[in-house]
Amino acid sequence: MKKETFGTILALLTAIISGFAIPLNKIFVSGLDPVIFTAIRGVVVGIIFFFLASAQTKFQFKKIRKVSWKWLIAIGIIGGGLAFLAYFTGLSFTTAGRAAFIHKTLPIYITIFAFIFLKEKVGKKQGLALLVMLIGTFILMSTQINPATFWTDPAFGDILVLIGTILWGVENTIAKHAMLKEESNWTVSFARMFIGGIFLFIIAFSVGKAGVLLTLSTQQIINVIISTGILFAYVFSWYWSIRLINVSKAAAILLISPVISLVLSVIIFGESAPLMQLIGSAFILIGAAFVVRIKSESVSGV
């Protein structure tokens, strides 16, 4: 299978996983401290990727790191720490469907950062397709909602989700830079999750939340385990995809996932699906259909 085709398939798989993950994580994070929730998942997934990275180098650990530690630490703190903290805290305040669409503004920031710092070429077709999808996202987000049991402060939650999304845009650009320097996607995934998880645990302990670990119920532990498995699948497919195709193209394909999240949110939480949201979903699907057919321009990075 051609690299471009396989990378596109992986990006599509990531979009599907993301579409299911957001509504499910809305349930999982309810009643559980977001810092502890994200920290546990990060460390566990990070350990798994450490062994994958080690196996790739036949456990010659000196070969695992090909770029400076400053890049790997930045990936971990920004993408695996701060972004997750902002996003999941915001998710606890806003609706799953709303968070999904805000998150899928990610291609805006990735495309801008990749164009400036990685010198990625953004063709007219890709730019037009991206614009169509962003119009759809804007239409979906323009609908006002009232606070309810599962979304107590949508406006505040939206801001936090947006901050987390922008931070992921920064982190994804750094990750692509590391891969252009021939760092493996396994090592990058390890750095993002493990370093980020440790960073979150430090935050949790510094604010006196360590005791939360001892009070987790059986159901909460099961929820964390399920969410951790979903996160592993997401990171596994995502970083493999951006190693094979342009990060700006892969991010645009992710705009398919909010449509999935919207449908599930209506079913699970009874969230409304007004006509404008449905129109926005149609725009996203049309734009994504064009993006999937666009070939990545080769890049050399900075």
- Reduce the secondary structure of 218-260 to three states and give it as a string: HHHHHHHHHHHHHHHHHHHHHHHHHHHCCHHHHHHHHHHHHHH
Separation of CA 70 from chain center = 21
Domain that holds residue 146: 3-292
In a domain, 201, yes or no: yes
**DSSP secondary structure of 280-301:** HHHHHHHHHHHHHTPPPPP---
pLDDT at 18 over 80: yes
Could you tell me the CA-to-CA distances from 79 to 85, 99, 175, 273 in Å, in that order?
A: 10, 17, 9, 31
Determine the residue type at 55: A
In a domain, 243, yes or no: yes
Residue 226: closest CA among 12, 17, 11: 17
pLDDT band at residue 298 under the 50/70/90 scheme: very low
Q: Tell me what pLDDT residue 265 has.
A: 84
Q: Tell me what pLDDT residue 175 has.
A: 92
Q: Which residue has the higher pLDDT, 126 or 89?
A: 89
pLDDT band at residue 300 under the 50/70/90 scheme: very low
Q: Cα angle vertex 177, ends 8, 66, to 5°?
A: 110
The count of domains in the chain is: 1
Environment class of 21 (CB within 10 Å of its CB; exposed 0-12, middle 13-18, buried 19+)? buried
In a domain, 206, yes or no: yes
DSSP state of 64: T
In a domain, 20, yes or no: yes
Q: Tell me what pLDDT residue 64 has.
A: 64
In a domain, 302, yes or no: no
pLDDT at 243 over 80: yes
pLDDT 10s digits, 132-141: 888 887 887 7
pLDDT 10s digits, 44-91: 999 999 898 888 776 566 666 677 889 999 999 999 999 999 999 998
Q: What is the pTM of this model?
A: 0.80
In a domain, 24, yes or no: yes
pLDDT 10s digits, 175-211: 989 988 888 888 899 999 999 999 999 999 998 887 8
Q: In the chain, pLDDT over 70 holds for what percent of residues? A: 93
**What's the number of CA atoms in the CB half-sphere (13 Å) around residue 265?**
28
In a domain, 297, yes or no: no
DSSP state of 208: T
pLDDT 10s digits, 206-226: 988 878 888 889 999 999 999
